[in-house]
């Protein structure tokens, strides 16, 4: 059981690399030309499709950061016996850096339906619903939406068992709010939510 938990956390590590690179780009203003809304300013009624915080910089930088971590895991860290022992699958046999990029991009794109619903409900970007829908369900969706995209891609190379999906939800559900707050405190995010 502990190997499944550690191994699942290891599979999620590229998300952390992607989030870190994206946060650094936001803090430093890097790749500002990509900080354009994905929805191109399209609105339904008077509300934007996804909002100004969902920019092209997100999927691209998260993909790049995830690809870098995936390559590091696969080509460097995999050679360390203690790390290879927690791997749920042989990382050397998995697809290359491009797969890590696909994981990161899919995670970011999977957040768009949530943003669409939040804009329809009048919830500002970077905040969460407190009075709409059952609060706990919406909060969980807000924290875990990226996992849907991540696992849809990851399952092409790694079996998505119910235990692994549940462990990843527990990890992301616990870590995501902490990373969001840290990103805000370090100037990598405009909001603490």
Domain membership flag for residue 140: yes
DSSP string, 95-113: --HHHHHHHHHHHHHTTHH
Contact 161, 92 (CB under 8 A): no
Q: Domain of residue 170: give its range.
A: 2-185
Per-residue pLDDT of 11-20, as tens digits, reads: 999 999 999 9
pLDDT of residue 41: 92
Contact 146, 15 (CB under 8 A): yes
Residue 129 pLDDT level (bands cut at 50, 70, 90): low
Per-residue pLDDT of 19-35, as tens digits, reads: 999 999 999 999 999 99
Domain membership flag for residue 192: no
Contact 89, 123 (CB under 8 A): no
Domain membership flag for residue 191: no
pLDDT of residue 131: 59
Domain membership flag for residue 145: yes
As given in the structure block, the two tokens for residue 126 are 């970077």
**Other Cβ atoms within 10 Å of 48 Cβ, number:** 20
As given in the structure block, the two tokens for residue 91 are 């990382």
pLDDT at 43 over 90: yes
Residue 56 pLDDT level (bands cut at 50, 70, 90): very high
Provide the greatest CA pair distance for the chain: 57
Q: What's the number of domains the chain is made of?
A: 1
């Amino acid at each position: 059981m502990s190997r499944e938990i550690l191994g699942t956390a290891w599979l999620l590590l590229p998300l952390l690399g992607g989030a870190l690179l994206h946060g650094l780009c936001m803090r430093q203003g890097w790749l500002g030309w990509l900080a354009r809304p994905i929805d191109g300013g399209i609105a339904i009624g008077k509300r934007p499709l996804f909002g100004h915080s969902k920019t092209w910089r997100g999927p691209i930088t998260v993909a790049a950061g995830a690809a870098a971590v995936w390559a590091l895991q696969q080509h460097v860290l995999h050679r360390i016996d203690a790390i290879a022992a927690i791997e749920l699958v042989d990382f050397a046999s998995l697809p290359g850096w491009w797969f890590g990029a696909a994981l990161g991009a899919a995670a970011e794109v999977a957040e768009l339906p949530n943003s669409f619903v939040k804009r329809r409900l009048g919830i500002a970007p970077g905040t969460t619903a407190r009075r709409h829908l059952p609060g706990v369900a919406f909060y969980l969706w807000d924290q875990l939406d990226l996992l849907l995209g991540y696992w849809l891609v990851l399952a092409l190379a790694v079996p998505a068992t119910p235990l692994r999906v549940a462990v990843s939800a527990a990890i992301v559900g616990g870590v995501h709010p902490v990373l969001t707050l840290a990103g805000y405190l370090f100037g990598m995010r405009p909001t603490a939510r």
